[in-house]
Amino acid sequence: MVAETFELPADMADAIIAHACASYPAEVCGIISGRAGVGVELYLGRNVSPTPTVAYELDIEMLARQVRFGDDGLTLAAIYHSHPAGPEVPSESDVSRAFYPDSVYLICSLAEPARPILRGFRIVDGRVHETRLVQR
Enumerate the active-site residues.
27
What single letter denotes the amino acid at residue 33?
S
**CA 110 centroid distance within chain:** 14
Pairing between β-strand 117-124 and β-strand 104-109 as defined by DSSP bridges = antiparallel
Strands (E), 45-103: 75-83
Alpha carbon distance 57, 63 (integer Å): 10
